[in-house]
Amino acid sequence: MTKENLNTTTRSKQVSHSSALNTRTKPTWCPGCYNFQILAGVKNVIAEEIKKGKKKDDFAIVTGIGCHAKIFDYINLNGINTLHGRVLPACLGMKIGNPNLTILGFAGDGDAYAEGIEHLIHAARYNSDLKYFVHNNQVFALTVGQPTPTTEIGFKDKTTPQGVKVYPLNPIKLMLASGATFVARVFADVKQIEYVLKEALKHKGFAFIEVIQPCTIFHPDINYKKKIYSLEKTKHDKSNFEQAWKKAQEFDYNIVKKIPIGIFYQTQKPVFEEQFPQLRELKKKGKSWKDIVR
């Protein structure tokens, strides 16, 4: 494919000069945007996987629409830049088409918790082997900063001049209640992204990863960095649902006293695609439907 194809929604991206994962597209995120941290962390881990023997074509990425979604143009992997709110159905479709793919989804908080909320609940129930990042900057950033379901009470913008009046959604609690088998939250820092993605790749099933990410323009850091502490440095037992539920309540996305980060909960449940003989067969043979259907 040529560079001119970059605006198409589904394509193999350009192989570039320096690293196999780089593209020729220059990032247009704002200077200091935390998306750069997420991009670097993800690329580092995938590059490491490739070094260990995985092929580039073993991975696929799916993004929604928003600032976060530009990541699609900056990682040279196959995938779909899909519709706003529809990251998870696209991921699931790809997984059913080729269960051998390692699929990473990237959504914004608007994308994931507003337009796409129904898919999130069912993705947690299905437990398909997908890794899903939510870039939570607590605003619809690309459309210039309107509140999302996780924006704090009192936040004002042009669409909400009297301030947000409704209590924010707690996605960690939502995921726990929906049956997710891997529930994590990290801060948008390259090391934390690397850590959580490595753990998520080892996990068999749906991995929900929320990334707390201030938006430098529309929702700057409101003391997040100072209030974060790592669950891994406490006695938190990630296999204990009650502990995870309790920890999930420490940050309600409204009043920021302390923010636990790390893996809240991890368990094993049957993986969606492994319950169908046809998909198990594809997996065993390392094939996709296109290899066997004429």
Ligand X SMILES: Cc1ncc(C[n+]2csc(CCOP(=O)(O)OP(=O)(O)O)c2C)c(N)n1
The contact set with ligand X (CB under 6 A) reads: 64-68, 83-85, 108-111, 115, 135, 137, 139-143, 148
What is the nearest approach in angstroms of ligand X to the Cβ of residue 1?
24
What is the nearest approach in angstroms of ligand X to the Cβ of residue 228?
20
C-alpha distances in Å from residue 137, one per residue of 36, 108, 172, 203: 13, 8, 15, 26
What is the nearest approach in angstroms of ligand X to the Cβ of residue 138?
8
Q: Which is nearer to ligand X, 66 or 205 (CB)?
A: 66
Beta bridge partners of 104: 61, 131
CB of 88 within 8 A of CB of 130? yes
Considering Cα of 131, then 41, then 221, then 108, what sign does the dihedral take?
negative
Q: Which is nearer to ligand X, 67 or 175 (CB)?
A: 67
C-alpha distances in Å from residue 151, one per residue of 58, 140, 154, 171: 36, 10, 9, 12
Q: Which is nearer to ligand X, 84 or 185 (CB)?
A: 84
Q: Which is nearer to ligand X, 38 or 130 (CB)?
A: 38
Query: Helix 190-202 vs helix 35-51: angle between axes, to the nearest 10 degrees?
Result: 50
Q: Which is nearer to ligand X, 10 or 12 (CB)?
A: 10
What is the nearest approach in angstroms of ligand X to the Cβ of residue 33?
9
What is the nearest approach in angstroms of ligand X to the Cβ of residue 218?
8
Residues in CB range of 277: below 8 A, 6 or more apart: none
Beta bridge partners of 266: 182
Two tokens, residue 16: 């570039």
Cα–Cα dist 22/10, whole Å: 17
What is the nearest approach in angstroms of ligand X to the Cβ of residue 272?
25
Q: Which residue is nearest to ligand X (CB)?
A: 108
Q: Which of 213, 219, 205 is nearest to 186 (CA)?
A: 213
Q: Which is nearer to ligand X, 142 or 201 (CB)?
A: 142
Transcribe 93-115 into DSSP letters. HHHHH-TTSEEEEEEEHHIIIII
What is the nearest approach in angstroms of ligand X to the Cβ of residue 168?
13
Q: Which is nearer to ligand X, 110 or 260 (CB)?
A: 110
